Structure 1
Amino acid sequence: MPIKLPSDLPAFDVLTREGVQVMSEDLAAHQDIRPLRIGLLNLMPKKIQTENQFARLIGAGPLQIEFSLIRMSEHQTKNTAAEHMAEFYRPFQEVRSEKFDGLIITGAPIEHLDFEDVTYWDELTQVMDWTQTNVHSTFGVCWGGMAMLHYFHGVPKHLLDHKLFGCYRHTNLAPASPYLRGFSDDCVVPVSRWTEVREDEVKAAGLPILLGSDVTGPCLIQDPDHRAIYILNHFEYDSGTLREEYERDRAQNQIDGAEIQMPVNYFPDDDPAKTPLNRWRSHAHLLYGNWLNEVYQSTPYDLSKIGT
């Protein structure tokens, strides 16, 4: 079954060209089926790129998805056209009376700030509380996952002395987990962050780590009590996303003179002139497909009963 998107959302044409099944809202209304309501709280500056990445993953499975784009109510983005935001996004305060089968909270490029110093932190805590009454399952990504770990469990994030940047192998630590159904014993995951959460502190909070790396630490963490999972890295990245970040950092280097490292295990032969190979796409689809399957199997058919 396809993902339901507004026909004029950029992701509609992008996914159609890629062969992902996409359905317009008008056509979906004629199907006698309850789609899964999945919200995307998009905290990333490049909103359209992030929409495409997550819509691609959640639209690849057999379930019909109703995809809703959500933004923080007061925070104004500087990197996406106001017209796009007005047409396709709703502020959290407008949707807080609604129920969702699933919610994805994205990362945000604000790792250097303490959580409480983030301008929209107070509203984000409202969102996290709201997930316990109005969302059946929440998927926190990178900074979004760290924020939930901090808020619900007091797990701190630690600033690193260098950026973890590249494609790192991660070990499957929970082969029996339904979220890792079909996973290999290890897999490659793109990583791009200046902070970490530490294995001992996650385990002290009683949370199982499903994917981890000796180099980059915990990657995928389950939080059964809050019906949530957290991924601290970026399965959703496109093949060229790390290249874009590398080129952006190099351009900034010409201004501030900071040392720029090449993404690890990304460019063939460590040659930026060569096209990177995508070695994580299949596991990305597996993870998000498994999450949606778990949501579908356990969410109430009556949306009003979510969170009760």
Structure 2
Amino acid sequence: MPLIAHTKLPSFERLRNEGETVLSKDRANHQAIRELHIGLLNMMPDPALEATERQFFRLVGHSNQIAQFYLHPFTLSSIKRGEKTQAHINQYYQSFDDIKMQGLDALIITGAHIEDVDLKKAPFYEQLKAVIDWSYSHVTSTLCSCLATHAVLEFRYGQKRQAIGKKCWGVFPHQVLDRHHPLMNGVNTRFDVPHSRFNEITKAQFDTVKVKVLVEGKIGAHLCVSEDLLRIVFFQGHPEYDTISLLKEYKRDIIAYLEKTREDYPPFPQRYLTEQSKAILNEYKTKLLSGEFTLADFPEQLISKTLNNTWGNATNVIINNWIGCVYQVTHEDIDKPFMDGINPDDPLNLK
């Protein structure tokens, strides 16, 4: 939670100039202290749907031990679901109409498994556009993950994503470019991020439309913010991933190969597995393809014990900062995105 500059102590101003969040006493007196309502538009495929729920719920829940959060999952009816997953959605998810009626303070939009570079071929294209259009005028801040980032860049900025030729897959190092933005408070200047995508929005595309890049790596921009510096937050990677997420994805790709829905046996995700784990998985591949092993023999438990998580701490801090920024400027009335006196074009007063 932010500090309150309730006296003229010089340290308050010094900390503010260094990028720390310090509110004036007047601003604090006008800040509504209430629960936050956060939507989760979950577009992930059936095998990852519930895991994605838990990942984002966990991140939000860990972000602040004082504030109370109501999380509202929903999805798009144009995404085909299996019987079991549809039953889960029917029982536990809200409809977008319900979401619009009740209102949200913030919204998280997940990625989705669409490999084709042309987003217009996605069955949910129009429904996703409707959610994004609504959120911009009704929600304080929307956080977009992977494909959702690509969709917003196309819908709002006219920037179409670019194919990268092969799957960008693994855990990659990144560098903070702007250390003074409130989202970066307390974040290590270098940290890793998992990626899993076939397409990208290039840094040049972000720069062209004045979307500010806060974090990038050799594989491109990862964390960016809209030109107002808060209302849309863009992740191009998957910082919400659990330690084991890429291993489970690797297993799903093996299944796809065996079911002949992909042509090649999947390569290893980069910078994720130890050399010993690679050797174990190569032996498994040989025995699987010879018929000696089956999917039941996949060494998931053995490999999972060797995996490192080098992104979780940074992700927790970033999400905590995002929630804090939303809390500072959202209106007490959930139907209004900003409290009175906040400039929607510069809600954090950073320009």
Q: TM class by shorter-chain length?
A: 0.7 to 0.9
**Local SS of the residue matching 2:113:** coil
Supply the AA of the counterpart residue of 1:221.
Answer: C
Percent identity among equivalent residues? 30
Match of 1:260 in 2: 266
Evaluate the alpha carbon distance shift between residue 230 and residue 80 of structure 1 in structure 2; reply closer, same or farther with a 3 A threshold: farther
Question: Separation in 1 of the partners of 2:316 and 2:212?
Answer: 22
Evaluate the alpha carbon distance shift between residue 158 and residue 115 of structure 1 in structure 2; reply closer, same or farther with a 3 A threshold: same
Matched-pair contact (CA < 8 Å) for 1:40–1:105: yes
Question: Separation in 1 of the partners of 2:201 and 2:36?
Answer: 31
Supply the AA of the counterpart residue of 2:88.
Answer: H
Match of 2:43 in 1: 43
User: 1:98 Cα deviation (Å)?
Assistant: 3.0
Matched-pair contact (CA < 8 Å) for 2:117–2:163: no
TM-score using structure 2 length: 0.74
Question: Where does structure 1 lack aligned partners over 5 or more consecutive residues?
Answer: 2-32
User: 1:109 Cα deviation (Å)?
Assistant: 0.2
Supply the AA of the counterpart residue of 1:51.
Answer: E
Match of 2:332 among 288, 298, 301: 301
Cα-Cα RMSD: 2.1
Match of 1:283 among 311, 314, 317: 314
Q: Report 1:141-220 matches (<5 A).
A: 141-214=145-218, 216-220=219-223
Match of 2:120 among 116, 119, 123: 116
Match of 1:53 in 2: 55
Equivalences, count: 277
> Which moves more between the two structures, 85-94 or 178-187?
85-94
Match of 1:18 in 2: none
User: 1:38 Cα deviation (Å)?
Assistant: 0.3
Question: Separation in 1 of the partners of 2:206 and 2:86?
Answer: 39
Question: Separation in 1 of the partners of 2:97 and 2:78?
Answer: 10
Matched, 1:271 2:265: no
Matched-pair contact (CA < 8 Å) for 2:42–2:74: yes
Question: Separation in 1 of the partners of 2:337 and 2:172?
Answer: 37
Match of 1:231 among 229, 232, 235: 235
Match of 2:70 in 1: 66
Match of 1:91 in 2: 95
**Local SS of the residue matching 2:195:** strand
Match of 1:136 in 2: 140
Match of 1:242 in 2: 246
**Local SS of the residue matching 1:90:** coil
User: 1:74 Cα deviation (Å)?
Assistant: 4.3
Matched-pair contact (CA < 8 Å) for 1:235–1:280: yes
**Local SS of the residue matching 1:164:** strand
Matched-pair contact (CA < 8 Å) for 2:42–2:75: yes
Matched, 1:292 2:323: yes
User: 1:303 Cα deviation (Å)?
Assistant: 1.4
Question: Separation in 2 of the partners of 1:257 and 1:47?
Answer: 25
Matched-pair contact (CA < 8 Å) for 1:47–1:80: no
**Local SS of the residue matching 1:129:** helix
Supply the AA of the counterpart residue of 1:237.
Answer: Y
Match of 2:10 in 1: none
Supply the AA of the counterpart residue of 2:118.
Answer: D
Question: Separation in 2 of the partners of 1:172 and 1:263?
Answer: 23
User: 1:34 Cα deviation (Å)?
Assistant: 2.4
Evaluate the alpha carbon distance shift between residue 211 and residue 79 of structure 1 in structure 2; reply closer, same or farther with a 3 A threshold: farther
Matched-pair contact (CA < 8 Å) for 2:38–2:105: yes
Question: Separation in 2 of the partners of 1:105 and 1:268?
Answer: 32
The list of structure 1 runs, each at least 4 consecutive aligned residues, that deviate by more than 6 angstroms after superposition, is none
User: 1:259 Cα deviation (Å)?
Assistant: 4.6
Evaluate the alpha carbon distance shift between residue 195 and residue 74 of structure 1 in structure 2; reply closer, same or farther with a 3 A threshold: closer
Matched-pair contact (CA < 8 Å) for 1:99–1:134: yes
Supply the AA of the counterpart residue of 1:266.
Answer: Y
TM-score using structure 1 length: 0.84
Match of 1:104 in 2: 108
User: 1:59 Cα deviation (Å)?
Assistant: 0.4
Matched-pair contact (CA < 8 Å) for 1:73–1:93: no
Match of 2:285 in 1: none
Question: Separation in 2 of the partners of 1:47 and 1:80?
Answer: 11
User: 1:302 Cα deviation (Å)?
Assistant: 1.8
Question: Where does structure 2 lack aligned partners over 5 or more consecutive residues?
Answer: 2-32, 281-302, 339-343, 345-351
Question: Separation in 2 of the partners of 1:127 and 1:251?
Answer: 33
